[in-house]
Amino acid sequence: MAQKIRIVPAILTDDPKALEKFVRATESFTDFAQIDIMDGNFVPSNSISYKDIAPLKPRFQWEAHLMVQHPENYLEGFKNAGAQKIVFHFEAKTDREKTIKQSRELGMQVGLAVNPKTTIKEFAPLVELVDSVLFLSVEPGFYGARFIPRVLDKIFKFHMTYPKTTIHVDGGVKEDNIKEITQTGVEAICVGSAIFNRSDPADAYRRLVELVTA
């Protein structure tokens, strides 16, 4: 039987009012989402923070994708805001193993995100220490960034090398490329603009689910 692939809505905004709108919409069609966090340093853009998320008390489980230079400074805040999982970047300026350890001590799962130019060899020593690897298929930091097809070859190679590791992909996913992405070994596909830039996010989400299960 083919592995079921999950569509994970990815919420990215710098506007607290838009955040609430996205969260309430997401509650209507899924039980798990990703919330993207940017510090204006690791990536050029800024976003909302855990202080904006906490009072909303989302009625779905969620992970925080930290596109930040120093993820260790964010862990406790996101734990208190309700995150079940932290995903931080291999390329961040942090003691990676310490950040993983601190996240687990707080009771959170840990994912490792890798940028398009980062090679498998570079992050291989950390694979066994995390719960999942998130491959960025765009240059991170911008909503609706252009999809980078060559990342799919890297994902497939990684899946062949680490068949038991949970693989997620994030960035530039649309209806016209999602079927190709499903052939690489991914278990979750994070989707932002192709859901939230539509007039009916719930319908857009359901359409993507249909495409990956067809």
Say yes or no to pLDDT of 1 above 50: no
The CATH architecture annotation of domain 6-213 reads Alpha-Beta Barrel (3.20)
3-state helix, strand, coil in the chain (%, to 5): 40, 20, 40
pTM as predicted:
0.96
Interval 66-75: pLDDT, tens: 999 999 999 9
> What is the per-residue pLDDT for 3?
65
**Domains of the chain by residue range:** 6-213
Mean pLDDT of the residues in the chain: 95
Residue 198: which pLDDT band, with cuts at 50, 70 and 90? very high
**pLDDT per residue over 120-176, tens digit each?**
999 999 999 999 999 999 988 766 678 999 999 999 999 999 999 999 999 999 999
Q: Please return the burial class of 87, using the count of CB atoms within 10 Å of its CB with bins 0-12, 13-18 and 19+.
A: buried
